[in-house]
Structure 1
Amino acid sequence: MKDAEFKRKTEKAFALMSEKGLRKSQRIPATYRLLWWMGIKKTPALFASFASNVCFLGVYYVVFWGCCMWFVTWRPRGYSPLASVITALVAGLLFGLCMAAVFRSRRKAKGLPDWEKL
C-alpha cells in the first residue's frame, strides 16, 4: 500500500471513529502508534481482519509478556525454557483471540466499514 493511500485511509478511519464516539485510546492502541512512528503501515485494529489481529496481537503478547515472565518469574524459579515457551505461546494465542474478538465486536457495534471500503 502506498503512503498516500494509507494516510488517506487512516485519516478517514480516524474521522469515522471519532464521529462514532470512540475515545483516542480506543481508536489507536499505543502499539499501533509506535509502529506508525517507525514507518510500519499496519491497519488500525478496529479495521483489521480477525485473523490479522489474532496474529499480530498474539505475537506481540508472546514476545513482551513471555520475556517479562521469563526474566522476572520463570527463570528465577527454575522453569524449563520449553515449558516457558509453550506457556507463552498458549497465553499469546488466548490474548490474541480475546483482543481480536473485542475489536471485532466494537467495530460491529459502532457500524464501522471494512478497511478495503474506506
Structure 2
Amino acid sequence: MNCSADSRPINPTDILARLKGLSAAEDFFACLGVSYDPKVMNVSRLHIMKRVGQYLAEEDFSGLPDQVIAARVRAKLERAYEDFATSSPLTQRVFKVLRDHDPNVCAAPGRAFVPLNSALKRFGK
C-alpha cells in the first residue's frame, strides 16, 4: 500500500494510482495522513467517501505534479469529512435515496404517498 498511517508527510508519488488500489475508507485517511474520529467514521463512512468522490469529480488533475495532486485530494477528503463531522447524513443527503425522500420537500404531483393502512380503513367498516 505504501501510504502514511500517521502524521508523517505523505508520499505523493503516484498518489492517484495508489488511491485507486484502496478499498476501506480508513485506508484513504491513512494514505493521505488525515485524522478522523472513529465515531464519525462509523456513522458516515459511505457518505464521506461519496462526497469526496463528488468533490474530486470537479477537479482536473491532468498535467499537475504528484505533490499538488496529493495536496488537493487531501484537502477534498478533509472537506468531505468535515461536512459529516459537523452535520449528519440526513442533513447532507449525498445519496439519491435520501434526496428523493426528503420529508421537507412536497411530493411531486401525482406521486403522493398514501399509507396502505389509511386506504384500508375505508373498507374496514
| TM-score, normalization by structure 1 | 0.31
Higher helix proportion: 1
| TM-score, normalization by structure 2 | 0.30
Could you say which structure has the larger radius of gyration? 2
